[in-house]
Chains A and B, each alone.
Chain A
Amino acid sequence: MSTKPDVFRTCVWPACLVGLLITGILSLDCNLLHFHLRKVTWQNLRLLSSTSSSFPVECLQETTAFELPQEILSHTQPVKRYIKEAFYEMSIQAFNIFSQHTFKTTWEKDYLKQIQIGLYQQLQYLEQCLEEEEKEKEDSKEMEQNGINWSGAMVSQLSNLELRRYFNRIDNFLKEKKYSHCAWEIIRVEIRRCFYYFQKFAVLLRKK
């Protein structure tokens, strides 16, 4: 009889905790991926922040406002799908920037590679999630036919366009500056902003 409270204390309580945790995760679509996404985005942010400690002074005068569409978080927040889409769009564009053939930079090459690896991982998880959902959508096509979804898709498309304009500005800037050292330094700082957003997206996705 004396073991009874012990059993409860040592087993039931952690079991309840685990149970709670599990139900929390199971309510997501691609649950395991969200966990990994959060981990990867955090690693990436740390990595990009560590690439160089200070911004070169000689590049200060070249800095440009790229106007990251800040409302993207609030616009996409209501629907998990939009978060994923914006998250994916930003990730792929950041990956593209870092994967340009004309990459001439003083950043340590290894760091760059690590960022690409991290972003690719992020993309893979998101891609998988989006594809999974696509399949689910095909299975329940009739649900698509209502107007709410259509207007939602418009919102998502508009925010997608906003993001593309933003990355187009970055792309044009790099081309104009002929991928100079300063241009890259400025872009690196700019992309770090996106990485903060990734972190926020990942948290939002896990919360929902």
Chain B
Amino acid sequence: MLALLGATTLVLVAAVRWMLPAAAGETNLKSPQNVEVYIIDDTFILQWNRSEPSVKNVTFSADYQTLENDTWVKLPGCQSVASTKCNFSSVKLNVYEEIKLRIRAEKDSHTSPWHYVDSFTLFGKAQIGPPKVHLEAEDKAIIINISPPGTKDHGMWALDSSSFTYSLDIWKNSSSGERRTKTVYPRDKIYKLSPETTYCLKVKARLLPRKTGVYSPVYCIKTTVENKLPPPENIQVDAKNHIYVLKWDYTYENVTFQAQWLHAYLKKIPGDNSGKWKQIPNCENVQTTQCVFPKNTFRKGIYLIRVRASDGNTTSVWSNEEKFDTQLQITPFPPVITMKSTNDVSLRVYISAPEESENKPVNHHYPLIYEIIFWENTSNAERKIQENRTDFTFPKLKPLTVYCVKARALIQEGKWNKSSVFSDIVCEKTKPGNTSKTWLIAGVCAALFSIPVVIYVMKLLFRCISYVFFPSSKPPSTIDEYFSEQPLRNLLLFTSEEHTERCFIIENRNTITAVEETNQTDGEHKKYNSQTSQDSGNYSNEDESSGSKFSEESLNQETE
């Protein structure tokens, strides 16, 4: 018994010691507070606050656990840390898997209870760090070269090497205002700057849809002295039937131009693409400010186009890179207009798609807006309206006046502004204003005329109804004739039994006559018999023995 008691007390003491280690060691350690995980790119930081700043020589240790693995593993870089922060970037983990962390304070052989951090994914907590930026100056532009945040090809953004989009903030160093914000490619050019001016800029990376990084430090650079030859401006590509027309503006003469293209997707991939630009056919050494090339030069896709000028000795820098999407190079077709004058001195306009066109579906698929120009034939005053309806009315016009209308289709969608040529002009005269009276008269006339018609129709209808629902009670004449001599009450029975009865009667007569004849002969026999019997009756009593004698004799004669 004593041994058992001793054992239990030992166990109890041990349990108490295990549960409350501080109670025995006098140092009641508390677990750290406000534990936070900060992740920027590939740097993972765990931060916390001391619960008892007065207690000296306290260190902290953290464990982690993945969902796949149920055991707690020591978090590298976060063992026996004396400060309130540790870097666990060296941990090898799938950044998309959920992990759990726990941390406790330690002093000598004593430890605090664990503080648990809610499960999270490294990616979910990760912030995008500042990108590295390299700048090069031109006279009116700055070439920007951005390296994506994080380490290349592995780590946090391993899947995102091409996914980053960059927002750039640029301003003149001298002035405080006038900031420009722009979305740029990793390798891009910022245009429309002044020469010999210092510009400052900062860049942040973004991962659509909702991760936005921190800005890079501010970089400043001074643009160079203005070049003699400026680059061409306002580059524009227009699609015609089978060709593209590339146009640009240029102020100087006696220069030749050269145009190049690049697949726009290459810009999205980090790396140098300067060697991948290709010459546009028919656009080399052109002296005009435009060049024409067949549509089949470009397959479907998005392209970048740039142009530069050369006067033989010097060459300008490349122009702005103009984005050009073959799929969006659509010119809508002019609509077809029909106009109709209505009775309230208005003109109703119907707009429809052209019936015969080379590329029929184009107009149908786009949200078209119609620009309609409307004028009185004799005056020059035009009314211009924009409509997205295809059926509308110009109300309250002058009566008996000719009005004309023409329209064109527009595609207005953000940056794309396309318009068709104008349709044919359609003119129409409005109706006189007092049309309502004539209509009233016509209406009355029509009503008068329709009365006899209505009456006649009613009559017909009445006849029909009475024929169907109230038929006359007389039977048809044929039936009448047939049964004219017969009384009507026998009509039902008579027809079925008449013949058979006759037949019966005829048969009966035969049998009856036959029977009567036989009866007659029988009767004679009977009469005769009765007479004889009557006679024999007289004799019978007398001649009983003689009869028997006679029968005996005849019997004997028979036996002999």
Q: Taking beta carbons and an 8 Å cutoff, which residues of A are in contact with B?
A: 7, 10-12, 14-16, 18-19, 21-22, 25-26, 30-32, 35-36, 39-40, 43, 84-85, 88, 92-93, 95-96, 99, 101, 113-114, 116-121, 123-124, 127-128, 130-132, 134, 153, 156-157, 161, 164-165, 167-168, 171
Q: Within the complex, what minimum Cβ distance (angstroms) separates B420 from chain A?
A: 14
Q: Within the complex, what minimum Cβ distance (angstroms) separates B278 from chain A?
A: 13
**A18-B364, A26-B367 known; A40+B96 contact, CB < 8 A:** no
A62 to B218: give the CA distance in the assembly, Å: 50
B96–A164 contact, CB under 8 A? yes
A38 to B364: give the CA distance in the assembly, Å: 15
B96–A165 contact, CB under 8 A? yes
B413–A171 contact, CB under 8 A? no
Among B265, B350, B353, B363, max chain A CB count under 10 A is at B265
11 contacts between A and B (CB under 8 A): A7-B338, A11-B338, A12-B391, A18-B363, A19-B391, A32-B416, A96-B159, A99-B265, A116-B265, A121-B327, A164-B159
**A164-B123, A165-B96 known; A85+B209 contact, CB < 8 A:** yes
Q: Mark each residue of chain B from 323 to 353: 1 if its CB lies under 8 Å from any CB of chain A, else 0.
A: 0010110000000101010000000001111
A40–B327 contact, CB under 8 A? yes
Q: Is B383 an interface residue (CB 8 A)?
A: no
**A40-B327, A121-B325, A161-B123 known; A113+B209 contact, CB < 8 A:** no
B414–A15 contact, CB under 8 A? no
Question: Which residues on the A side are within 8 Å of B162 (C-beta)?
Answer: 92, 95-96, 99
A12–B159 contact, CB under 8 A? no
A127 to B302: give the CA distance in the assembly, Å: 14
Q: Within the complex, what minimum Cβ distance (angstroms) separates B480 from chain A?
A: 57
Q: Which residue of B lies closest to A17 (CB)?
A: B364
Q: Which residue of A lies closest to B263 (CB)?
A: A117
Question: Which residues on the A side are within 8 Å of B366 (C-beta)?
Answer: 25, 32, 35
Question: Which residues on the B side are within 8 Å of A164 (C-beta)?
Answer: 96, 123, 159
**A7-B340, A114-B299, A121-B301 known; A161+B121 contact, CB < 8 A:** yes
Q: Within the complex, what minimum Cβ distance (angstroms) separates A115 from chain B?
A: 10
Q: Within the complex, what minimum Cβ distance (angstroms) separates B262 from chain A?
A: 12
A120–B209 contact, CB under 8 A? no
**A12-B391, A15-B352, A95-B162 known; A161+B413 contact, CB < 8 A:** no
Q: Within the complex, what minimum Cβ distance (angstroms) separates B390 from chain A?
A: 4
A88 to B352: give the CA distance in the assembly, Å: 36
Among B208, B327, B350, B364, max chain A CB count under 10 A is at B208
Question: Which residues on the B side are within 8 Å of A15 (C-beta)?
Answer: 350-352, 390-391
Question: Which residues on the A side are within 8 Å of B336 (C-beta)?
Answer: 11
Partner of B265, one of A7, A84, A88, A120: A120
Q: Which residue of A lies closest to B388 (CB)?
A: A22
Q: Within the complex, what minimum Cβ distance (angstroms) separates B84 from chain A?
A: 30
Q: Which residue of B lies closest to A167 (CB)?
A: B159
Q: Is B94 an interface residue (CB 8 A)?
A: yes
Q: Within the complex, what minimum Cβ distance (angstroms) separates B410 from chain A?
A: 12
Q: Which residue of A lies closest to B97 (CB)?
A: A165
Q: Which residue of A lies closest to B336 (CB)?
A: A11
Q: Which residue of A lies closest to B165 (CB)?
A: A127
Q: Which residue of A lies closest to B160 (CB)?
A: A96
B300–A120 contact, CB under 8 A? no
A11–B352 contact, CB under 8 A? yes
The A/B interface has a contact count, at CB < 8 Å, of 137
Q: Which 8 A-B pairs have the closest CB atoms?
A: A120-B265, A117-B301, A15-B390, A11-B350, A32-B413, A165-B96, A92-B163, A11-B338
A121 to B303: give the CA distance in the assembly, Å: 10
A117–B351 contact, CB under 8 A? no
Q: Is B268 an interface residue (CB 8 A)?
A: yes
**Chain B interface main SS type:** mixed
Q: Within the complex, what minimum Cβ distance (angstroms) separates A202 from chain B?
A: 14
Q: Within the complex, what minimum Cβ distance (angstroms) separates B92 from chain A?
A: 13
Partner of A95, one of B165, B268, B328, B368: B268
Question: Which residues on the A side are within 8 Å of B340 (C-beta)?
Answer: 7
B391–A14 contact, CB under 8 A? no
Partner of B264, one of A88, A120, A171: A120
A124–B352 contact, CB under 8 A? no
A70 to B93: give the CA distance in the assembly, Å: 25
Q: Within the complex, what minimum Cβ distance (angstroms) separates A168 from chain B?
A: 6
B302–A31 contact, CB under 8 A? no
Question: Which residues on the B side are within 8 Å of A88 (C-beta)?
Answer: 208-209
Q: Is B124 an interface residue (CB 8 A)?
A: yes
B327–A36 contact, CB under 8 A? yes
A118 to B301: give the CA distance in the assembly, Å: 6
Q: Which residue of A lies closest to B340 (CB)?
A: A7
Q: Which residue of B lies closest to A12 (CB)?
A: B350
Q: Within the complex, what minimum Cβ distance (angstroms) separates A191 from chain B?
A: 14
Q: Within the complex, what minimum Cβ distance (angstroms) separates A120 from chain B?
A: 3
A85 to B299: give the CA distance in the assembly, Å: 28
B268–A120 contact, CB under 8 A? yes
**A99-B269, A117-B301, A118-B301 known; A14+B367 contact, CB < 8 A:** no
Q: Is B502 an interface residue (CB 8 A)?
A: no
A161–B124 contact, CB under 8 A? yes
A52 to B452: give the CA distance in the assembly, Å: 81
Q: Is B365 an interface residue (CB 8 A)?
A: yes
Partner of A157, one of B124, B160, B161, B263: B124
Question: Which residues on the B side are within 8 Å of A35 (C-beta)?
Answer: 365-366
A130–B413 contact, CB under 8 A? no
A35 to B366: give the CA distance in the assembly, Å: 8
Question: Which residues on the B side are within 8 Å of A30 (C-beta)?
Answer: 414
Partner of B389, one of A19, A84, A171: A19
Q: Within the complex, what minimum Cβ distance (angstroms) separates B127 from chain A?
A: 15
Question: Which residues on the B side are within 8 Å of A101 (C-beta)?
Answer: 271
B367–A124 contact, CB under 8 A? no
CB contact list, B201-254 vs A, under 8 A: 208-210
A96–B161 contact, CB under 8 A? yes
A18–B390 contact, CB under 8 A? yes
Q: Which residue of B lies closest to A102 (CB)?
A: B153
A132 to B123: give the CA distance in the assembly, Å: 26
**A32-B366, A43-B300, A161-B124 known; A168+B391 contact, CB < 8 A:** no
Question: Which residues on the A side are within 8 Å of B352 (C-beta)?
Answer: 10-11, 14-15, 18
Question: Which residues on the A side are within 8 Å of B183 (C-beta)?
Answer: 131
Q: Mark each residue of chain B from 409 to 440: 1 if its CB lies under 8 Å from any CB of chain A, else 0.
A: 00101101000000000000000000000000
A121 to B208: give the CA distance in the assembly, Å: 16
A135 to B40: give the CA distance in the assembly, Å: 26
A130 to B325: give the CA distance in the assembly, Å: 19
CB contact list, B379-412 vs A, under 8 A: 388-391, 411
A120 to B301: give the CA distance in the assembly, Å: 8
